Amino acid sequence: MSRYILIQSKSPWESGDVGHFYALARELGDRGEVTFFLVQNGVMAARTGASDAGLDGILGGKVRVLADDFSLRERGIDAGSLKKGVGSGAIDEVVDLLAGGAKALWH
Amino acid sequence: MATITIGIMDPPYESANTPTAFRLVEAAIRKGHNVNVFCYEGATALGFAGQKPHANAVHGLSLEEEDHPNPKEWVKSLLTFAGEKKVKLVWCNCGMCVDERGVENQVEGVCRGSPVDAWKYSEASDGVLLIGTE
């Protein structure tokens, strides 16, 4: 089974492409093992109460969703305030997946 | 030990992508992996040796107080860190991009190549990540 690491660096409010990236993650999740890693402004959508149907659509499904702990701290977001289904993770997670041969995409 | 190739395109002082790329390289080295970094377009200025720190007149801070971190220092630190960890860090610039920008004077350890090298690094790597611009 193919493994994928998709890295989302933008919030859904700064780029319309973000919605397409969520959709790509969801579709890949049907065919492989997908980690969706939110970094930089990408973590903004992970806050409880943030209105983002695209991200909500992949939570609780086959895609593992992580938010970069450093980006959360930079923005004053407590890891305990994230939406259900989003975990806090270190950038080491990305390195581990790359080292293990996962296919990577950055947006 | 794996080999990871990371492509960077953003110029210094422009995007949060740059510190994230530095963090990825640091984490990979810390975990004992070999890393190839291929800098394309504006990212070739990351290792430009002519970068200078500055004071902050707005906040009334001297050069020392401001302690402005120039990206070239991060590049040097990562190259040193790789040496300490006994892993290989290749920091390669697209030569044509360097010439276009006049940033030939790079910190020690940065090499010059072409997109062909990026292809070779990618072919020989366990994982590849391209951090593109907008």
Each residue's pLDDT tens digit, A52-74:
999 999 999 999 999 999 999 99
pLDDT bin (cut points 50, 70, 90) of residue B37 is very high
For residue B14, count other CB atoms closer than 10 A to its CB.
Answer: 12
- Average pLDDT, integer, range B95-110: 98
Q: Which fold has domain B3-51+66-131?
A: Hypothetical Protein Ychn; Chain: A, (3.40.1260)
Question: Residue A1's pLDDT is what?
Answer: 86
Please give the C-alpha separations between residue A67 and each of A5, A18, A38, B23, in angstroms, as whole numbers: 13, 15, 5, 15
Tell me what percent of the residues of chain B surpass a pLDDT of 90.
Answer: 96
Residues of A within 8 A of B21 (CB-CB) are none
Residue B23 touches chain A, beta carbons under 8 Å: yes
ipTM: 0.96
- Whether the pLDDT of residue A24 is over 90: the answer is yes
Best CA proximity match to A61, nearest among A102, A82, A33, A98: A33
Start-to-end Cα distance in chain B: 32
| Chain B (99-128) residues lying within 8 Å, Cβ to Cβ, of chain A | 126-128
pLDDT tens digits along A72-99: 999 999 999 999 999 999 999 999 999 9
Domain ranges of chain A: 3-99
Question: Residue B134's pLDDT is what?
Answer: 72
Instruction: Return the CATH superfamily for domain A3-99.
Output: DsrEFH-like (3.40.1260.10)
Residue B32 touches chain A, beta carbons under 8 Å: no
Using an 8 Å Cβ cutoff, are B76 and B107 in contact?
yes
Using an 8 Å Cβ cutoff, are B3 and B124 in contact?
yes
Sign of torsion over alpha carbons A11, A14, A19, A25:
negative
- Whether the pLDDT of residue B69 is over 90: the answer is no
